[in-house]
Chains A and B, each alone.
Chain A
Amino acid sequence: QSALTQPPSASGSPGQSVTISCTGTSSDVGGYDYVSWYQQHPGKAPRLMIYEVSKRPSGVPDRFSGSKSGNTASLTVSGLQAEDEGDYYCSSVAGSTNVFGTGTKVTVL
């Protein structure tokens, strides 16, 4: 049950794009199309942003998109806005359990 690997930080200016990677193994990310992404602001509960690799829940701006290739999933935020600043976590099913990523702090410059 090792955590999925994410870069500690990512940044971009308003209007730019940022992409966050999430690397696992064939036992989690690579083995299932059940990768999800969560945004967390300080002191708040996580919020679902992407599920099943690339699907967006209602209410999530279409600036957020997800993809997967092999054992690595990615979250892209296009047209960065100030409110996109926060921590982002990926998650994947891993057999009969779940595993989260190490988290990425996104800074809007």
Chain B
Amino acid sequence: EVQLVESGGGLVQPGGSLRLSCAASGFTFSRYWMHWVRQAPGKELVWVARINSDGSSINYADSVKGRFTISRDNANNTLYLQMNSLRAEDTAVYYCAKESRWYFDPWGRGTLVTVSS
């Protein structure tokens, strides 16, 4: 069974940092592009970042460019999102998702990041 499990969320002060992880299983992780998508409480889904299969191609949403870094460890089947200079508007559930030809399937259950003093 294909499975994605996020971890690393929590409460952080504005300006702080957090590192999210997404553990993948049930598929050949190293062959797929991976994405992070977030959803603020009661709001819509927002695409955050993507990384290609070997980590050589990366793209970010303008809202996180320069503050967030997506990376992956194919040896350990894990996707990461390093989040720096966090702002209140970064408060959201963060989902990782496996990409197949520009669609996302499956998604993890998400991890909640709360930025507040």
Residues of A within 8 A of B (CB): 1, 3, 32, 34, 36, 38, 40, 44-48, 51-52, 57, 89, 91, 93, 96-103
User: Which A residues are in CB contact (< 8 Å) with B109?
Assistant: 44-45
**Interface size (B, Cβ < 8 Å)?**
23
In the complex, the answer to whether B44 meets A101 with C-beta atoms within 8 Å is yes
B32 at the interface (CB under 8 A from A): no
Closest 3 CB pairs of A and B: A34-B102, A51-B103, A36-B103
In the complex, the answer to whether B102 meets A89 with C-beta atoms within 8 Å is no
Considering the complex, which residues of chain B in the window 84-117 have a beta carbon less than 8 Å from any beta carbon of chain A? 95, 100-110
User: Which A residues are in CB contact (< 8 Å) with B100?
Assistant: 51
CA distance A18 to B100 in the complex (A): 28
Q: List 22 A-B contacts (CB under 8 A).
A: A1-B61, A3-B44, A3-B46, A34-B103, A38-B104, A40-B45, A45-B108, A48-B104, A51-B100, A51-B102, A51-B105, A52-B103, A57-B105, A91-B103, A91-B104, A96-B59, A98-B50, A100-B37, A100-B46, A100-B47, A101-B44, A102-B44
